[in-house]
Chains A and B, each alone.
Chain A
Amino acid sequence: MASSSSSSLSRVVVKSSDNNLFVVNKKVASQSQLLKQCIDNMEEKGTNDVILIPLSNVTSNILTLVLEYCEKHADFADDDNNNQELKQWDHEFLKKFDYATLNSLTMAADYMVTKSLLNLCCQFIADSIKDLTVQQIRQIFDIKNDFTPQEEADIKNENAWAFR
């Protein structure tokens, strides 16, 4: 930490797709590889100006959530990853959201290359759909059944144990 040179920035400004500005501490922003890359590039050029990073794919309500996650994880950045308190926090964090929010958050995590958040979201979604029926899955993911009734019956027969 102390080694950072005087020319490096301590804060960046991130702009959401609906044009809201967020001032973000560099350590927090570094949780996102996308933001980190932007910062590194600018620092290489020796810029002393405040960097503005526009995120055209992320709305401000979702960006707020991503940054909340990054902030929490930046606090624990020096701890090892198995911190129980942090895990608990992660779980509580995701529990609050409906499917639509969770979905947008997953895409934002992917876009902003926040790997741990992406992992967390995917696992959370997997856990919440694992016991659903095939019909429910089709509904939720808006998937059209393109099997003939015979083909579908064959798959079910072959794998009957999984449907019990």
Chain B
Amino acid sequence: MDTKETTENTSSSINSSWSCLPEDLILEILKRLPVKSLIRFKSVCKDWKSIINDPNFGKSKQTHSKTSEYLSSSYIILRSDNSMFTLNLDLNNLAGRKNRERKGYNILCSFNGVLCVHICDTENIFMWNPITDEARLIPSPSGMDLTRIRLIGFGYTFIKLAKLKLSRDMNHDFGVAIKDRHNLFIYDMQNNRSKPDVVEVRENGMILENDHTLLATTGHGRVLIFEKRFGKINWLNDEGIRMEKLLVFDASQGKRFFIEVNNEYCVPYKSGETVYQVVNYVPSLLSPKSL
């Protein structure tokens, strides 16, 4: 009898001691967990699931990047033979590995840890988070030659582009833009529909911009995305040639101008290396499905 009581006391004191941790301290602890644990702990209860799924949580987690093996800023490098490898990120540990076995794919861009991937020889374009292995299919734009994609970007506000007004609502900041030689397709992830072509497109330059991302083509078929948030250019053109100038279009003011590209903003590139694309990749828990 005595023994039993003691046991019960002990277990209840352990329980109560942990359950009385205030929510902000629970959050502090969760932030420091590796991604794999977090994915598992989504099924603990609804509260934890919504904390972990919250895009802001993924972002705050990045500030603890030093503490987890998964959470270091990385580059995903795609070579011209479609082999992909990473620096500081071991994709072998990720379920997304199956994508390696496919015939080929292009990483078109990345934003907050979500990659935009085109599976070669198909119409399929996915938003894919390799860390959580969640993916979302983007309906393929009709009448576009996906083998000749010129430009894809996402993470900007087309609400702003449509109305030339700035939307501060983060939820409106996500979309996909795909451009081939002649057409521009913009897909609104938030509302699940295509948007009419409201962006100025020119052979010599096109522009999409929000607080985080500036997307620009310059003349000579060169394509660059400048991600202000990380201060890095995250896309090199086919020849790996660094751009020296970026065309900037300020949609809210209707002005365009060039900016010089400072070398310190450039991704590392060794001359002669057959790097096809370099994506500055910051792992996150952002779910493409929740965009």
Binding site for B on A (CB under 8 A): 99-100, 103-104, 106-107, 110, 118, 122-123, 125-127, 129-131, 134, 137-147, 152, 155-156, 158-163
10 closest residue pairs by CB, A with B:
A142-B19, A162-B39, A126-B32, A161-B95, A142-B15, A100-B17, A155-B43, A130-B37, A122-B28, A159-B39
- Bound state CA distance, A49 and B180, in angstroms? 77
* Contact pick for B25, options A106, A134, A142, CB 8 Å: A106
Contacts A131-B37, A134-B41 given; does A142 touch B18 at CB 8 Å: yes
Q: List 5 A-B contacts (CB under 8 A).
A: A123-B32, A140-B14, A140-B15, A142-B16, A143-B45
Binding site for A on B (CB under 8 A): 13-22, 25-26, 28-34, 36-37, 39-49, 67, 94-95, 132-134
Having A107-B22, A146-B45, A162-B37, one finds 9 other A-B pairs with CB under 8 Å, namely A100-B14, A126-B32, A126-B67, A129-B29, A138-B45, A141-B26, A142-B15, A159-B39, A160-B95
* B25→A122 contact, CB < 8 A: yes
Query: Distance (Å) between the CB of A79 and the closest chain B CB?
Result: 19
* B46→A146 contact, CB < 8 A: yes
Contacts A100-B14, A142-B16 given; does A134 touch B44 at CB 8 Å: yes
- Bound state CA distance, A126 and B14, in angstroms? 17
* B13→A100 contact, CB < 8 A: yes
- Bound state CA distance, A159 and B25, in angstroms? 26
> Which B residues lie within 8 Å of A152 (CB)?
43
- Bound state CA distance, A143 and B18, in angstroms? 10
- Bound state CA distance, A158 and B132, in angstroms? 9
Contacts A130-B34, A159-B133 given; does A99 touch B28 at CB 8 Å: no
* A162→B40 contact, CB < 8 A: yes
Contacts A143-B44, A143-B48, A163-B40 given; does A122 touch B18 at CB 8 Å: no
* B12: nearest chain-A partner, CB-CB: A142
Query: Distance (Å) between the CB of A140 and the closest chain B CB?
Result: 5
> Which A residues lie within 8 Å of B13 (CB)?
100
* A145→B45 contact, CB < 8 A: yes
> Which A residues lie within 8 Å of B30 (CB)?
126
* A104→B17 contact, CB < 8 A: yes
- Bound state CA distance, A106 and B67, in angstroms? 18
> Which B residues lie within 8 Å of A130 (CB)?
33-34, 37
Contacts A122-B29, A130-B37 given; does A138 touch B15 at CB 8 Å: no
* Contact pick for B40, options A99, A134, A139, A141, CB 8 Å: A134
> Which A residues lie within 8 Å of B26 (CB)?
141
* A147→B17 contact, CB < 8 A: no
> Which A residues lie within 8 Å of B17 (CB)?
99-100, 103-104
- Chain A CB within 10 Å, residue with most, of B26, B31, B43, B94: B43
- Chain A CB within 10 Å, residue with most, of B30, B42, B95: B42
* Contact pick for A126, options B19, B33, B49, CB 8 Å: B33
* B39→A138 contact, CB < 8 A: no
Query: Distance (Å) between the CB of A90 and the closest chain B CB?
Result: 14
Query: Distance (Å) between the CB of B126 and the closest chain A CB?
Result: 15
> Which A residues lie within 8 Å of B133 (CB)?
159, 161
* B43→A140 contact, CB < 8 A: no
> Which A residues lie within 8 Å of B21 (CB)?
103, 106-107, 141
* B43→A141 contact, CB < 8 A: no
* A147→B45 contact, CB < 8 A: yes
> Which A residues lie within 8 Å of B40 (CB)?
134, 159, 162-163
* A110: nearest chain-B partner, CB-CB: B25
> Which A residues lie within 8 Å of B95 (CB)?
160-161
- Bound state CA distance, A98 and B88, in angstroms? 35
> Which A residues lie within 8 Å of B29 (CB)?
122, 125-126, 129
> Which A residues lie within 8 Å of B48 (CB)?
143
- Bound state CA distance, A103 and B45, in angstroms? 21
> Which B residues lie within 8 Å of A145 (CB)?
44-45
Query: Distance (Å) between the CB of B98 and the closest chain A CB?
Result: 10
* A130: nearest chain-B partner, CB-CB: B37
Contacts A99-B18, A103-B18, A159-B133 given; does A137 touch B41 at CB 8 Å: yes
